[in-house]
Amino acid sequence: MKARMLATHVALPVLAIAVSAQARAADFDWMKFKGKTVTFLANNNPVSQALLTYKADFEKLTGMTLKVDGYQEQQMRQRLVTVMNANSDEVDVFMTLPSREGEQFAAAGWYADLTTMAKNEVAKDYDPSGVSQALLKAATFNGKLTSMPMNLEGPIFYYRTDIFKKCGLDAPKTIKDVEAAAEKIKTCDGTVTPFVSRGLKPAVAYTFSNLLHNIGGTYIANGKSNLCSAKGKEALDTYSRLLRDFGPPGVVNYSFQQISALYRGGRAAMAFESSNELRTVMEGGARLKDTGLLPFPAGDAGQVPTTIGWGMAVSSHSKQPDAAWYFVQWATSPEVQKKMALQGIAPPRPSVANDPEYRKWIDEEPVRKEWQAALDVLATKGSSEVGYPIVANPQSREFIGQAVQDLILKQKPIDQACADADKALDALIALN
């Protein structure tokens, strides 16, 4: 499923929203809910960190108080499950990944339908038709708009240009080049980890899916899990071998925090991690001049990068969904998304991506130009398929991660690891 994330074509339903919104924008009052408190359940990642830099601006604009309930990603979802299962109104707005939990949360009835709000309560400068249509479509389930896009992201390839030069290496063009580079760096510079990517079980699918699709593999064929296909086994073997032979000790516990810290600290030569992590990786400036960025190098199927985005959703249990929508609208407005873009959060609005101030910021550093070039590839070639395209997508990611970990730790031969995963995944597929 291709996702053209920065497509400028305006689909008819969204155009209808825009026309209605323009008619009502003149009556919009940002102070309508002055005195209320909105609670935001946030994933403590670079997206929310950039957004919350401007928390005081929202409170000044609206007269509302923004209460932030922030956690790491897994803990955030655990907190959300607890709140939603209790039918509690403790959370008004929460961050969500439509590509991961969209179908599941929609089936559970956890999302408020934003369609009407996006028609009837829109500020003059909000421009709902300017948001990526592909991301809006990805956030729509059974005709209900469940969240508004916060960013555009996908895993990209970070590499140390100074180490590559020292070891006589060119930037890799293929997956085999990545393996060859890792092998050479292992002998050329013993002070660094040659390659690092996600090894934590629930986090693996984000990066593994990109490699699987580049190789030409699919998660499902003829209604059955397809990890034991030739391409599926090649992807499992390649991904796990890169981490087992060239990754850091304990890589099965690595997600974005550990990877970014390792690379930023100068202790990794190559890192396959989220485009969102540019801000974190460049923090302190040590990596600003010695880093190159690329979409993940091609396999037999070329480059099919993973492309997704975080969204902001209003809880179906919120007792003040209209006030909550004001926060969602402010956070996903062109003005705020431009400010976030200048912190390295890729904007889901084409108008922001083409803004002169943003383009100037991009042009100031070569590494930012490469970052934007990689994002352009994500936007035009990307797939939003991360894990299995089923309601039980989050559970499917656990089984993908388990198969990878079984191979990294040499706990199973590949035929057994993929067969065990396929058996469990077929059971999940059958439930849909």
Residue with token string 């960190």: 49
Other beta carbons less than 10 A from residue 9's beta carbon: 8
Q: How far apart are CA 420 and CA 397, in angstroms?
A: 14
For residue 26, the model assigns a pLDDT of 66
Q: pLDDT digits over 243-278, tens only?
A: 999 999 999 999 999 999 999 999 999 999 999 899
CB 144 within 8 A of CB 111: yes
For residue 350, the model assigns a pLDDT of 85
CB 336 within 8 A of CB 330: yes
Other beta carbons less than 10 A from residue 110's beta carbon: 23
CB 268 within 8 A of CB 163: no
Pairing status of strand 224-225 against strand 155-160: unpaired
For residue 15, the model assigns a pLDDT of 43
- Helical H segments across 7-97, by residue range: 12-24, 46-52, 55-62, 73-85
Most confident of 141-145, 241-245, 384-388: 241-245
Distance between start and end Cα atoms, the chain: 18
For residue 6, the model assigns a pLDDT of 34
Q: Any idea which of 21-35, 138-152, 277-291 has the lowest mean pLDDT?
A: 21-35
Q: pLDDT digits over 4-34, tens only?
A: 333 333 333 454 455 455 555 667 899 999 9
Please state, rounded to an integer, the average pLDDT across all residues of the chain.
92
Percent of the chain whose predicted confidence (pLDDT) is above 90: 83
Q: Is the pLDDT of residue 407 over 50?
A: yes
Q: Is the pLDDT of residue 108 over 90?
A: yes
Burial of 191 (0-12, 13-18, 19+ CB in 10 A): exposed
For the residues of 328-384, what is the DSSP string, one character each?
HHHHTSHHHHHHHHTTT---S-HHHHT-HHHHHHHHT-HHHHHHHHHHHHHHHH-B-
Q: pLDDT digits over 314-363, tens only?
A: 999 999 999 999 999 999 999 999 999 999 899 999 889 889 999 999 99
Residues 159-166, mean pLDDT to the nearest whole number? 98
For residues 3 and 289, the model is more confident at 289
**Phi, psi dihedrals of residue 195, rounded to the nearest 5°:** -150, 140
Q: Any idea which of 22-26, 40-44, 56-60, 288-292 has the lowest mean pLDDT?
A: 22-26
Distance of CA 300 to the CA centre of its chain: 24
Residues 116-131, mean pLDDT to the nearest whole number? 88
Pick the closest to residue 305 from 98, 4, 8, 102 (CA basis): 4
